[in-house]
Structures are given as structure tokens and as C-alpha cells.
Structure 1
């Protein structure tokens, strides 16, 4: 197959035709465009998307609780930033294998829903096992490391199918809105659940070496994963026709996917820039459990509250993107990432808890815009037959990132988390300023 494809070239050519005032008129009569905010929840007009969103909320709730509880458990047991880095790196290492295979699976299966259900059952079993180990008083760091590896396999194998399934449900026209609404669901969970989980752990006496209350949090997470599995049964999407399924070997399909990315400049550029942005922007979250305890002098309840309140900015950012049109999306992405980098720099300098909460709220707004639009831009320019494999490479970047962040955890151990987060923030701001000077990226719609 020649690259870039005819569809990609057509999209690029269409970008050269700017909108004119006449484009909003029909036969001399001005057509009033719909209100931006009225279109914020457009994807909810699709019944299948409503069920999909409900299932995602179960997953998002469990994931956001885990963002708090796993990091808290590791630091409570070990007191080591390096061990926090191990946790992230372990999931990333297995993702280097699982993510590409997940992309091939997403392109080869007739019904992506089944991939999501199988992964949900696997996650429920993993979290249930950790809950039982805590209740028996036998939980050790190695168990948490093992769960990170297993969930890294499940997550990376499932995510390409989930990303591609969104397009199957809503189509390209509503894809920006659907992805932003899904992100808003994740951010709502982030707003509510970590704080509640942290408050529960603290109320039951958790902290200072006592990890027993965490078992109830893990039992809850297991139930949330099963909820998502059940809700997915309500979605009815036509199977992918057999003649559209790839018939080559898995290795050949992988090779074709990587070849497509390398020979399609716009996809190659989007994936490469996204990797650098994520590398510089997510360091703080990996270090947050230790940062909160050592710099902000915060216990489990305040750590959960810190994550939750910062989710207000993320929720507002995702709702803004949900109401945004299909023009100038790369510029909005860059402005969001720049806002995040500047706020993250001042967060690194702060030792005051409530100032740090306010700064992380702004960080969340910028991060949400970046996450939603980077996903949308890639899905808008990729060809359907390669969608699953390209999204797996998108996930593969996250796996590389999880491994590459490990040296940052060592830097935090030797010189403190403030320096590590500050250096990352400076790197992010520098990258965004460079991309503002690259029209091929800056002017993408």
C-alpha cells in the first residue's frame, strides 16, 4: 500500500480551504451557528454512547481510586521514591509487548466490546486478590509490583480497542465531542473518588504503617470493574465485516502498522510530539504520593483531597474541549500544554498545601485539553484499517514513558521531588514554545 494514503492526502488538502463568512450562509440567508455550550453533550444523543459512557465511568472510578491507593500503599510500605518508579516502570515494560499486540487484536476482532469485557474481568480478579492479601495481613511490595505488571498487560492490550471502539459508536463527526465527554467522566471520577478513598482510609485509621483499611478500597475497585463489564452488554454495535478483517500473520500486521506510521508524516509527527509532551507533563503524578508527604506534610486524606480538587480543572478543561469545534485544535492543545507547564513549575516551588491545590487545578485544566485533543487529532488523520494499530503505538508511547520516567524517580530520591518536577516543567514549556514555531503542527485542525 502506498503511503500516505489517498484519504490522508485529501484531509491535508482540505485544510487549505479556510472558512469564509459566506460558508455560514445559505442562498443569502445567514444561518445561525449552534451555541457552543449547547453542543457540549452532543454525543449523548446516541444511545450506545450513553451505555458506553456509563461503563467507562465504572472503569474510571476504579482507575482513579487506584491512582491514589496503590501509590499510597507503596510509599507507606517502603518510603521510597525509587519503589514508586519501579511500580510505574514495571507496568510500562510489559506494555512494550502488550500494546502492539493490543492494536493488532483491535483491528482483527469483529466485536471490540468483548475485548473490553475480558479486560474488565481480569482487572476485577487482580484487585480482588490484593484486597484478600491485605485482609490476611500478607501484602508486600512484591505483590503490588506483580499487580502492576498484570494490570499493565491488561491495560495496554485493552486500550487500543477502547479507543477505536469510540469511533465505531459515534463516527468521526462526533469523535471530538465523545472523547472529550469521556475525558470529563474520567475527570469527574478523579474529582470525587481519590478524596473519598483517602478520607475512608484515614477515617479507618490508615497511615503511619497501618494499611489494613485499604482492603475495603480494593474490594470497591473490584466491584466497579465488574459493573463496567455488565453495562457493556447493553451496547449494540454491528460486527466488523469479515472481508474487512486483516488476514495476515500477527507479525506482518505489526510490521504494516509501524510502516504506516513511519511513512505517514502527519501521524509520525503527532505521535512523536505527544510522547515528548507526556514525558515532561506526567512526572509530577508519579511522584505525588511522596511529594505530598515530604513537601506538603499531607496524610492520606489530604493526598486524596489534593488529587480530587485538582480534578476540578481537568473537568472544566474536558467540558471546554467537548464544546469546541473542529478548527484550530492543535493551537488549543499547545495553549493547554503551555498553561500546564507554567503552573507545574510554580507547583514545584510551592510548599503550601492550598497553593499547591490551586496550582494543580490549573495543571489539570491544561492536561485535560492536551489529552483529549492529542487523541482526537491522531484519530482524525489515521486511516480506518490502521486505527487499532496506530492507537496501540499511541499506548506504546505510554509504556516507553513509564520506563523512561524511572531515572526521574532516582533524581527525586537523591535531590528531592521539587527539583525533579521543576526540571520536567521547564522541559515542557521549552517544547511547547518550539512547537508554536512549527506551522505543520501548530496549524492542524
Structure 2
């Protein structure tokens, strides 16, 4: 099938899920055909929660996000405690990024070949077992940094194979008309956890073990594994993908499917520029998070609870950003995405110069606000301008960019070990600022709705 690159692909309309699909897989009931009436006021922000299947889906996401935000705190903390090395923090990103780079495209084929909810559930179970295994190594007093690198590799593989299914499942559950709202609400859930979980985990760890070291981390990993396992159970009532979307493809022709997906992106100029933009912006904006444990320890001079609170403060800005995204319509989304990137680059530049804990805390709130705006709008634009039959494979390429960005993080970790983390992050933020200005002036992204 050839795709004409000279024509812009318009956002595709999916059937309203309240009309076509029962939220419970076992049910044969068909909902009465009614047209989706856009809500107003506060109900506009909560629109997707009117879909029963999405309520289960977002609750499962909340549990998974809780585990993920705990892990973002504890894994970097453990690596720096065991090694006292920025290079190892960078190596952690390579360990997670390599499988994402290699396997994400196959995750897209998987999303377009089998039931997406089963892929998501399987990934959550593997993540839970991974966390429980790290807890075992800590309890046995045998934990070494290689265990954490291996765990990061496994989690990267799970993310690569699972995330395209999760992302492509969202418009099938809520319908494309609600996609911006649904992703915004999902980000609210992510950032509520981002606000609470790192600070909670850091405080609990400080209470269990007031001294420096890794004691008490096993309890954090046990809780993290339990959240992942609970998320898998919460996915059970989420509706399956429409049968016709899954019967057309088999794993046997995966390479042909992958080739077809690459051809689609090549010929869809809008999706192509959005994917490239995401890759470049992620490479410039994500590395600071990996280096944060070292910055907190060596520059700001605060302990594990201070690290947890700083990571949580990003969630405050992210919550406001997510609520704004959930409430906005389908106009000027490309322009808003670039404005978010501009604010992100400037705030990261200020972050790189700060040596004061409270000033850094305020800056990270702005970082969280701008980061979530860029990420959410980039996600929804890519899905909106992709055809349904290719959406899983397109989203797999979206996650390839995160894998590639991990190499940028590794490089920044090496540079930080030579010149210090502040200079490394400052240079990265200047590159990001120049990139966003170029995208505003020279591309069609500001015109995208």
C-alpha cells in the first residue's frame, strides 16, 4: 500500500466507545447508538471517565505509575550509593535504553498482532517479578550494581514491548475524540504519583535507615513489585481491542508488518517530523533526571529524603500541565507543544546554574509543567495523525526515540564525570533551546491542530 506524502493525514475518527464496545469483555451487550455530546465546565476535564473501560484502564495506570515513580527514585539512589559515579548513572540509562532501541519496533508489531491488554498485563507481571528479585538480592546482602543494570535492561525490554500496546489501546477504549482528554487524565494520574511516591519512598527509607547506605531499600522494592502486580489485575475488565484489528495479523509476518510500518512513516510527512522532533527533544531534555541523585548528593548536599522531595516537586507542575492538556480542545496543539519545549529548555538552563536547594525546588516545578505539556501533546499529535491500522507500529517508533535518548544520557553522564553535572546539563539545555526555536521557525508543527 502506497501513501502519498504530498497529502497531510488528518486526525482519524474512531467510533465512540459508549456506542460500539462494551467495557467488559464478557458482555455481549451493545450500547444504544448515540452521538458523543462534548461536555462543558469541569465535566470537559473529566470527559473520558464517562467511559467505564477507561475508568479501569486509568486505575491500572495509577498503580503502574506508582511503582514506576518509586523506581525512578530508588534505582538511581542505589546506583549512586553503590558506586558514587555519574558514569554508572549514565550506564543505567544505556542498560534500559538498549532493549528499547532494539525491541520497540517489534512491540509495535505485537500491538497490531495480538490483544493489547494481554501484552500490557504480561509486562506488569514481569516488572513485578523483576522488583521482587532485586528485593531478594538486597535482603541476601548480595546486591551489586550489575544486578541493578540487569534489572534496568529487563525493564527496558518490557517497556519496549508493552508501551506501544498501552498507547494504542487508549484511543480504542475512549475513541479518538476523547484522546487528548484521556491522555491528559492519564498524565494527571502519573503526576499525582510523581508528586507523592518519590517523597514518600525517600521519607520511609530515611525513617527505616537514617544513616547513609542502602538499608531498607528492600521494603521499597517489595512495595513497588506489589503495585505492578495489582496493575495487572486491574486490567482484567478493560475491553479487548476490536477483533478485526487483531485477526488480520500474525507474528509470523512480523518483518513484513514492520517494513510496511516504516514505509508508512516515510510517506507520512506529518508523523515523520513529529517522531524526529520527539527524538531530538527527548535527547536534550531527559538526561537531567538520571543525574539528579548525584546533583542532590554532591551539589545541593541533601540526603535521600531531599532527593525524594525534589523528584516529587516536579509532579506539582506536571499535575497543572496535565489538567490543562485534559481541558484543551483540538486546536493549536502543535504550537502549544513547542511553547512547552521552549519553557522546558529555559527552566533546565536555570536548573543547571542553581546551587540552592529551594531555588532548585522551584525550578523543578516549572520543569515538570513544561515537560508534561511537551510529552503529552507530542504523544496525542502522533496518534491523531496516524491511521488506526498503523498506530501500534508508529507508537513503537515513538518509544525507539526514548531508547536512543538513553545513549545521550549515557554520554552526558560521562561528560558530567569530567566537567561536572552543571556544565553538562547547561550545554544540553542550550542545545534544546536552539532546537525548539528552529522548529518554531522552519517547520509546519506550529500549524498542527
- 1:358-391 per-residue CA deviation (whole Å, 9 max, x = no partner) reads 0000010000100100000000000111111110
Look up the match of 1:54. 59
- Listed one character per residue, the Cα deviations across residues 315-336 of structure 1 (whole Å, up to 9, x for unaligned) are 1101111000000001111111
TM-score (norm 2): 0.91
Q: How many residues were matched structurally?
A: 425
Partner of residue 291 from structure 2, selected from 287, 291, 302: 287
Q: Which residue of 1 aligns with 2:69?
A: 64
Q: Deviation of residue 404 (structure 1)?
A: 2.8
**TM superposition shift of 1:244:** 5.3
Partner SS state of residue 50, structure 1: helix
SS at match of 1:2: coil
* CA displacement, residues 148-188 of structure 1 (integer Å, 9 cap, x when unaligned): 11111111100000000101101100000001110111011
Say if 1:280 and 1:428, in contact at 8 Å, map to a contact too: yes
Match runs of 1:337-352 below 5 Å: 337-352=341-356
In the alignment, the residues of structure 1 paired with residue 221 and residue 247 of structure 2 have an alpha-carbon distance, to the nearest angstrom, of 41
Alignment pair present for 1:258 and 2:262? yes
Q: How far 1:237 moved relative to its partner?
A: 3.3
The aligned counterpart of 1:134 is 138
**What's the offset of the Cα at 1:34?**
5.7
**Secondary structure at 1:289 match in 2:** helix
Instruction: State the partner residue of 1:236.
Output: 239
CA contact (8 A) 1:194 1:307 kept: yes
Match of 1:395 in 2: 399
Q: Where in structure 2 are the equivalents of 1:54-203 lying within 5 Å?
A: 54-109=59-114, 111-203=115-207
2:225 to 222, 225, 228: 222
1:188 & 1:253 partners in 2: Cα distance? 37
Q: State the distance in 1 between where 2:74 and 2:403 align.
A: 21
- Tell me what 2:423 maps to: 419
**Does the CA-based 8 Å contact 1:137-1:212 persist in structure 2?**
no
User: C-alpha separation between the residues in 1 aligned to 2:245 and 2:259?
Assistant: 21
Task: For residue 136 of structure 1, report the CA deviation from its aligned partner.
Answer: 1.0
CA apart distance, 1:102: 0.6
Displacement of 1:236 in angstroms is 2.6
**In 2, Cα distance between the equivalents of 1:238 and 1:434?**
39
CA distance in structure 2 between the partners assigned to 1:242 and 1:342 by the alignment: 43
- 1:41 is aligned to 2:40: no
CA distance in 1, matches of 2:167, 2:11: 23
The Cα offsets for residues 334-361 of structure 1, whole Å up to 9 and x where unpaired, read as 1111111111111110100010000000
Aligned to 1:300: 304
1:207–1:300: 8 Å Cα contact kept in structure 2? no
Q: Which consecutive residues of structure 2, in runs of 5 or more, have no partner in the other structure?
A: 14-37
Q: Is 1:11 paired with 2:41?
A: no
Contact 2:45-2:327 within 8 A present in 1 as well: yes
Deviations 1:286-327 (A, max 9, x none): 110101111111100000000112210011101111000000
Between stretches 88-97 and 245-254, larger displacement belongs to 245-254
Counterpart-to-counterpart distance in 2, 1:202 and 1:288: 18
Q: Does 1:211 align with 2:214?
A: yes
User: Deviation above 3 Å: which 4+ runs of structure 1?
Assistant: 33-38
Give the TM-score taking structure 1 as reference length: 0.92
CA RMSD for the aligned pairs?
Answer: 1.9
Alpha-carbon deviation of 1:35?
4.2
The 1:211/1:45 distance shift into structure 2, 3 A limit, reads same
Output the CA distance in 2 between the equivalents of 1:11 and 1:351.
Answer: 47
> For the Cα contact (< 8 Å) 1:36–1:324, is it kept in 2?
no
Aligned residue number for residue 19 of structure 2: none
Listed one character per residue, the Cα deviations across residues 130-155 of structure 1 (whole Å, up to 9, x for unaligned) are: 00110111100010011011111111
